[in-house]
Amino acid sequence: MQQSKEQRVHNVFEKISDNYDKMNSVISFQQHIKWRKDTMRRMNVQPGSKALDVCCGTADWTIALAEAVGPAGKVTGLDFSQNMLNVGKEKVKDLGLEQVTLIHGNAMELPFPDNSFDYVTIGFGLRNVPDYLQVLKEIYRVLKPGGMAVCLETSQPTLIGYKQLYYFYFRFIMPLFGKLLAKSYREYAWLHESARDFPGMRELAKLFERAGFNDVKYKPYSGGAAAVHIGKKK
Ligand SMILES: C[S@@+](CC[C@H](N)C(=O)[O-])C[C@H]1O[C@@H](n2cnc3c(N)ncnc32)[C@H](O)[C@@H]1O
């Protein structure tokens, strides 16, 4: 029987959790660190605020948010892979960040009341969910009026030549890195499939608008290999 997208994604992350952090740097040639820093700078997170990091994985973005909101703020990280969360929990404990709570849950049905958070982030998570619009609507629902939603994700490069190189890399080279360094060829092949099927920047901005967001802005990173989208709830 064919696995659903959700089951497949769940199995992928349960399996690669121990190597996830190391592999992120290898497959993006360390570029993801720059993208994450620039995104945080654009967000200008205010101390004392309340943030939710959807699909938090091993909690890198959750931790950056916790440092920005400070001890007076509160950050919740949510993910459906217990193994990814366990790696994150160790990091949060080592850093003594008491303002962080990591919880097991599904992005498709966020277990929070309406209007709960000042910021909701989703980092390299949206392309993994079965219904992008449903998750964006959930993010919109749990944001407070005036709150900000931020999605950092792989995107579709447009420059001829670079685009072909990018697809070649994702399809053939990246899964080989996965096989050699993490003994997980099939799991890294999934990254290629999910990135290939994900909307380009403009289409994603339109989805943000369909979910209800205003003032949607986006910025490509590394020639469109990734992009950040920011939307506000009026
Ligand atoms: C590529 S990782 C990103 C982790 C982290 N946000 C980061 O920036 O490194 C994607 C994460 O999304 C989680 N995920 C995928 N689909 C999900 C869903 N429907 N609900 C909750 N978590 C999900 C996976 O378990 C995985 O930890």
CATH number at 5-156+198-232: 3.40.50.150
For residue 57 and ligand 1, the question of a CB distance below 6 A is answered with yes
Residue from 23, 58, 80 to probe ligand 1 pocket by mutation (most atoms less than 8 Å from CB): 80
| Nearest-angstrom CA–CA distance, 96 and 132 | 34
For residue 87 and ligand 1, the question of a CB distance below 6 A is answered with no
Do the interacting molecules here have an ipTM over 0.95? yes
Least trusted range by pLDDT, from 65-74, 120-129, 192-201: 192-201
Cα-to-centroid distance, 193 and ligand 1 (Å): 15
How confident is residue 80, by pLDDT bands cut at 50, 70 and 90?
A: very high
Ligand 1, atom 10: closest residue by C-alpha? 125
Residue from 19, 79, 120, 136 to probe ligand 1 pocket by mutation (most atoms less than 8 Å from CB): 79
Least trusted range by pLDDT, from 93-97, 139-143, 188-192: 188-192
CA angle 121, 127, 131 (to 5 degrees): 95
Atom number in ligand 1 closest to CA 17: 27
Other Cβ atoms closer than 10 A to 115? 13
**Residue 79 assigned to a binding site:** yes
Q: Which DSSP state fits 200?
A: -
| Nearest-angstrom CA–CA distance, 171 and 159 | 18
Q: pLDDT higher for 3 or 100? A: 100
What are the residue boundaries of the structural domains of the chain, listed by start?
5-156+198-232
Helix ranges, 28-173 (H): 31-43, 60-69, 82-95, 132-142, 162-168
Cα-to-centroid distance, 79 and ligand 1 (Å): 6
**What value does the mean pLDDT of the chain take?**
94
